[in-house]
């Protein structure tokens, strides 16, 4: 899953609820999006799809 945590500390916010492997790839240059790869929805367990989520999105909005 993907979690977002304030740089200054505090509680982590869960951003995805996919129940699959997820790996954060990085941020967009403007800091508005988080790019990540996941096995969610893939036929083979070693295949990944790439998604982006808005950093200010409500948890679970992919």
Domain segments of the chain as ranges: 3-54
Residue 22 token pair: 């997820």
pLDDT higher than threshold 60 for residue 59? no
Q: Which helix (H) or strand (E) holds 34?
A: strand 33-38
Angle at 35 between CA 57 and CA 2, to 5 degrees: 60
* pLDDT the model gives residue 15: 92
Q: What is the pLDDT of residues 25-53, one digit of tens each?
A: 999 999 999 999 999 989 988 899 999 99
Residue with tokens 């492997």, as numbered in its chain: 21
Q: Which helix (H) or strand (E) holds 25?
A: strand 22-27
Rounded distance between C-alpha atoms, residue 51 and residue 48, angstroms: 10
What pTM value is reported for the model? 0.81
Residue 46 token pair: 């070693």
């Amino acid at each position: 899953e993907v979690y977002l945590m304030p740089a200054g500390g505090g509680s982590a916010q869960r951003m995805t609820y996919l129940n699959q492997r997820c790996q954060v790839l990085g941020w967009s240059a403007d800091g508005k999006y988080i790019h990540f790869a996941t096995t969610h929805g893939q036929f083979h367990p070693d295949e990944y799809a790439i998604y982006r989520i808005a950093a200010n999105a409500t948890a679970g909005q992919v």
